[in-house]
Amino acid sequence: MSTRKNTKRNTFPAWHPDFRVAEDLPDIKVVRTDFLINIGAVGLALMIFIWLAYREATVYGLENDISTLQAEQSRLEGDNMIVVASNTRFMKRKQIFDDLDKFYDIPVDVPRFLADLARLRPSDISFEEVAYQELQQTEQKVITRTYRIFLRGQTRSLQLIDDLKESLIELPYLQNVDDISEGSNPRNPTLNTFGFSIEVRFKQATEKASS
């Protein structure tokens, strides 16, 4: 009899859970962990989708811009070649113009000077060198030009060198020169002459270098 009564009593649930058995305890969490994981996964997926969509839209827009620019480049290529060819012809003609401008802008008329030099030369003076030179120096985008006349030769009398120098100074286009200087007078015992040199240096001219 006692066995039957115990068996029947054990079939009734306990009036409170057994805290030693975790599976039997009620779930009292306010927010379930599974719910948070699902929300995070969905949010991450949406962010990745939005980023991919933005990237694809950006790439598409850039591709359209590149196509437009390439089409514009092809359209303007012919005109650009014409402009480049015109600029090349212009630069060549500009170089010729600059050379002519410098040639006519020299401070002395060289043919006239040679004619005057032949007229003023004493008979006992022989020239070995008659030079007209342009010395150019560029510094800090500024071009400095210096012009000079250089005479070198032989003479039997040193007084004739002074006479020639005085005659050059009296020429009207040489009165405003920067300097007229005379070099050394080495003796040539073989010819029984004296060497001489005269340099006429004009004032410097400056201009800006072309960029």
Residues 132, 69: Cα–Cα separation, whole Å: 57
- Residue 153 in this model has a pLDDT that exceeds 90: yes
Residues 40, 99: Cα–Cα separation, whole Å: 79
Buried b (16+ CB within 10 A) or exposed e, 8-38: eeeeeeeeeeeeeeeeeeeeeeeeeeeeeee
* pLDDT tens digits, 159-168: 999 999 889 8
Residues 24, 27: Cα–Cα separation, whole Å: 9
Q: What is the pLDDT of residue 27?
A: 59
First to last CA, the chain: 123
Q: What rounded mean pLDDT belongs to the chain?
A: 79
Instruction: Check if the beta carbon of residue 196 is closer than 8 Å to that of residue 161.
Output: yes
Q: What is the pLDDT of residue 133?
A: 83
Q: What is the pLDDT of residue 2?
A: 47
Q: What is the pLDDT of residue 15?
A: 60
Give kind and range of the element (H or E) at residue 61.
helix 33-104
**pLDDT higher at 80 or 115:** 115
Under the banding of pLDDT at 50, 70 and 90, the label for residue 16 is low
* pLDDT tens digits, 18-39: 666 666 666 555 556 666 777 8
What is the SS3 assignment for 86-120? HHHHHHHHHHHHHHHHHHHCCCCCHHHHHHHHHHH
Q: What is the pTM of this model?
A: 0.47
**pLDDT higher at 142 or 102:** 142
* pLDDT tens digits, 41-78: 888 888 998 999 888 888 888 888 888 888 888 888 88
Under the banding of pLDDT at 50, 70 and 90, the label for residue 1 is very low
Residues 190, 120: Cα–Cα separation, whole Å: 27
Under the banding of pLDDT at 50, 70 and 90, the label for residue 115 is very high
Under the banding of pLDDT at 50, 70 and 90, the label for residue 209 is low
194 Cβ partners below 8 Å, 6+ apart? 154, 155, 156, 157, 158, 161, 185, 186, 187, 188
Residues 53, 82: Cα–Cα separation, whole Å: 44
